Amino acid sequence: MNRKAIYGLIVLMSLGLMGIITIQYFVIKNAIELRKVQFKRSVMTAMIDITHQLQKEKAKERFDQFNLGEIKVISESDDSLSYTFSDESGMAITKKYIAQDSTYKIQITGEVNDDRDDWVQYKKSIEVSAEDETDDIYFSIDDGEASDSIIAVDIQGLELKYEIYREMLEKLEQIEYSLNAIDRIDSIKVFKKLQNALLSRGIESEFVYGILTSNASNSFYFGADAKSLSEQLNNSAFKVDMFPGEITEQSSKLSLYFPNLRWDLMGSIAIVLFVSVLFILIVIGVFITSIKVILRQKKLSEIKNDFISNMTHELKTPISTISLACEALEDKSIELSAEIQGSYLGMIRTENNRLGMLVDKVLRNTVLDKGELKLKPEPMDLNEMVKSSISHFDLQVRKRGGNIKTELNKEIPTVDVDPVHIGNVISNLIDNAIKYSNEKPRIYISTYQNESDIILDVKDQGIGISLENQKNIFGKFFRVPTGNIHNVKGFGLGLSYVKSVIEKTGGTISVKSELKKGSTFTIKIPLNHA
């Protein structure tokens, strides 16, 4: 997949992800707004019910204060009043007075004893004008016999009671309207009623309430920290008339404020919110992982192509040398002395060994990939292993005018390591130090120990490694870039192999490097391997 295709795929996936996140945002936002509307409707309904309930209870208290047991208020409003009278005979009279047309309806219920000592129940409705001067109303009760029972209602007596009631009611209202709102209610009782009304509607949110008046000094606040929330109560969206139907100079409002409303609303849709956020995170995770996999696969593809190119180059030189030597030996037209033939044969043997080493490197890394690398540790002198590895490169370094200096601590103990693989590790580090030195290789190798480890340093004064490349140098097939000219042999398997062997030994390897100043590779082997 080329670069343009990858970038195009990333753009499309990003647009799709942004679309999903945007849709989920609006879904969650609409769910919260809908819950707000439902919440407000429930709260306002509860508040209106409470104010009406308090108003009815207040009306009852007015009658109780004057001990008018025979008068019972049924309902009252601005233009009508319904109440019930009862007298000694057990007769119950329900009267509804309508102010607009000066009429009232009387509904009379009771029972009467007929001639046979049977009680007959009756119910009559009569509409009477206030202008009528009738003292009594007579009506008959059909008891199922030939004669009917005659009932008389003292309208004038009822009117007198009605007028008494009206006067008392007006006095009570005048007294009550002159009081402050807080003096007219029981604050704890109102709080409990509000709490119960809200709970019955499934609202468990913490709240404070206040009775607000046009005169701020007469306002009242109830609940934890209610006074500090007075501004919020004054600006609350949850307000109703405390005493509906009353027309006074100083109106009162019942106001509620929910300090944790935002979180409570979020909590009410917590499952939807959690699932939405979870799916968004999953999609984002899959998106990021996909991008990483695509870029990693692209990088691996580039590394693989570089490996094939480097490996082809590395194999081409020994194969060409062997081919030329074979042709010279097979050419009968050229007389070759035994010494020259031996030289050609030695050349073929050397290049053949080189091919074998290259193949071994590839096979070793295949074994590492499969996890089949098995070490055979035995007590070894690390200093001697360093000297042995240096001997293989000493001539090569001298030819380039360089040198290898050592500072080996003779007091370090022997270590239990695999001699073959640790020998290859040291050789790889020396080989890299030589390869990446532009002019005369200057290599410094030291061994020492601290409280917990035996340490081997391999230092050079080569081209150095950038910080970006230091993160990747132990990766398979990775080679430090040296430009477009292929003047450094190898195909990026050495340091990967080194890291795997050291880690299987129980040690660590690290690098410190600076461009154009050289690199230092440090191997630490725990003393418990000593």
Q: How confident is the model at residue 112 (pLDDT cuts 50, 70, 90)?
A: very low
pLDDT at 367: 62
The band of 156, judged by pLDDT with boundaries at 50, 70 and 90, is low
DSSP states of 292-329: HHHHHHHHHHHHHHHHHHHHHHHHHHHHHHHHHHHHHH
Answer whether residue 354 shows pLDDT above 80: no
* Ranges in the chain annotated CATH 3.30.565.10: 374-529
Q: What is the pLDDT of residues 207-242, one digit of tens each?
A: 888 888 766 666 777 776 766 777 888 888 888 887
159 pLDDT tier (thresholds 50, 70, 90): low
Share of the chain above pLDDT 90, in %: 10
Joined together, the tokens standing for residue 313 give 């180059």
Whether residue 17 contacts residue 283, with contact meaning beta carbons closer than 8 Å, is answered with yes
Percent of the chain scoring above 70 in pLDDT: 66
Is 457 within 8 Å of 445 (Cβ atoms)? yes
One-letter amino acid identity for 455? I
Any idea what the Cα angle at residue 233 is, between residues 232 and 239, rounded to 5°?
Answer: 130
Helix axes 419-435, 494-505, angle to 10 degrees: 140
* pLDDT mean over 247-271: 76
Token duo for residue 177: 């309207």
Q: What is the pLDDT of residue 386?
A: 93
Tokens of residue 196, six digits: 């119960």
CA distance 362 to 505: 21
Domain 374-529 coded CATH 3.30.565.10: yes
Q: Which residue has the higher pLDDT, 115 or 430?
A: 430
- pLDDT, tens digit, 9 for 90 and up, residues 7-25: 888 888 888 888 888 888 8
469 phi and psi, to 5 degrees? Answer: -75, -25
pLDDT at 127: 55
Least Cα distance to 90 among 111, 71, 74 occurs for 111
Q: Are 112 and 149 spatial neighbours (Cβ–Cβ below 8 Å)?
A: yes
- Which tops the pLDDT comparison, 228 or 72? 228
Residues pairing with 128 in the sheet: 104
pLDDT in tens, 113-149: 444 444 444 455 555 554 554 444 444 444 444 444 4
Which letter, b or e, does each residue of 288-318 get, where b requires 16 or more Cβ atoms within 10 Å of its Cβ? eeeeeebeeeeeeeebeebbeebbeebeeeb
The tens digit of pLDDT for each residue in 367-416 reads: 666 666 778 889 999 999 999 999 888 888 888 889 999 999 988 999 99
Highest-confidence segment of 46-55, 92-101, 323-332, 452-461 = 452-461
Is the pLDDT confidence value at 30 over 70?
yes
What is the pLDDT confidence band of residue 189, given thresholds at 50, 70 and 90?
Answer: confident
* Widest CA span in the chain: 166
Residue type, 233: L
Closest CA to 502 of 417, 411, 427: 417
Determine the angle formed by the axes of helices 419-435 and 382-399, rounding to 10 degrees. Answer: 30
The pLDDT tens digits of the residues spanning 467-520 come to 888 887 887 666 665 554 445 555 456 788 888 889 888 999 999 998 888 999
Cα separation, 237 vs 233, whole angstroms: 9
* pLDDT of res. 208: 85
> Has residue 80 got a pLDDT over 80?
no
Rounded CA gap, 424 and 494, in Å?
A: 9
| Pair 454, 417: CB distance under 8 Å | no
CB 303 within 8 A of CB 477: yes
Amino acid at 113: N
Q: What does the alpha-carbon distance between residue 221 and residue 473 come to, in Å, rounded to a whole number?
A: 71
